[in-house]
């Protein structure tokens, strides 16, 4: 998949400039980020339209959409917060008294 994205990024530069240029890794990252921004805008808009149809009474199955969204979310592991360790108060302890 990355090879396809890399090829698409290079092809876009060649088409845009009309000449072959070396594309830096940062340019590749920026091209992919631009594609993600565009896709996000289209997806969010589409979901808003579908939610409006649900509110209008249409019964829709969102399970495939939710599974796809979860698959994208799973690409990057969520940070696990460190559990807080409660502070244990130190009690004043008197030395043992002789009986």
Q: What does the pLDDT look like over 62-82, one tens digit per residue?
A: 999 999 989 988 888 878 888
Count the domains in the chain: 1
- Rg of the chain on CA atoms, in Å: 27
**Which pLDDT band holds residue 49 (cuts at 50, 70, 90)?**
very high
pTM of the complete model: 0.48
* 18, pLDDT greater than 70: no
Q: 78-93 as b/e, with b when 16 or more CB fall inside 10 Å? A: eeeeeeeeeeeeeeee
Q: Is the residue at 50 inside a domain?
A: yes
Q: Is the residue at 17 inside a domain?
A: no
- Please tell me the predicted confidence (pLDDT) of residue 3: 65
Neighbours of 65 (CB within 10 A): 14
**Which pLDDT band holds residue 4 (cuts at 50, 70, 90)?**
low
Q: What is the mean pLDDT of the chain?
A: 80
- Please tell me the predicted confidence (pLDDT) of residue 76: 82
Bigger pLDDT: 8 vs 89: 89
Q: Is the residue at 79 inside a domain?
A: no
Tell me the residue range of the domain where 42 lies.
Answer: 24-73
Q: Is the residue at 5 inside a domain?
A: no
Q: Is the residue at 82 inside a domain?
A: no
């Amino acid at each position: 998949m990355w090879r396809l994205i890399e090829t698409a990024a290079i092809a876009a530069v060649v088409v845009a400039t009309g000449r072959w240029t070396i594309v830096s890794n940062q340019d590749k990252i920026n091209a992919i980020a631009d594609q993600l921004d565009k896709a996000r805008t289209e997806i969010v808009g589409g979901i808003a339209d579908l939610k409006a149809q649900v509110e209008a009474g249409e019964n829709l199955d969102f399970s495939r959409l939710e599974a796809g969204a979860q698959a994208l979310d799973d690409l990057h592991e969520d940070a696990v917060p460190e559990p807080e360790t409660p502070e244990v108060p130190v009690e004043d302890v008197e030395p043992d008294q002789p009986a």
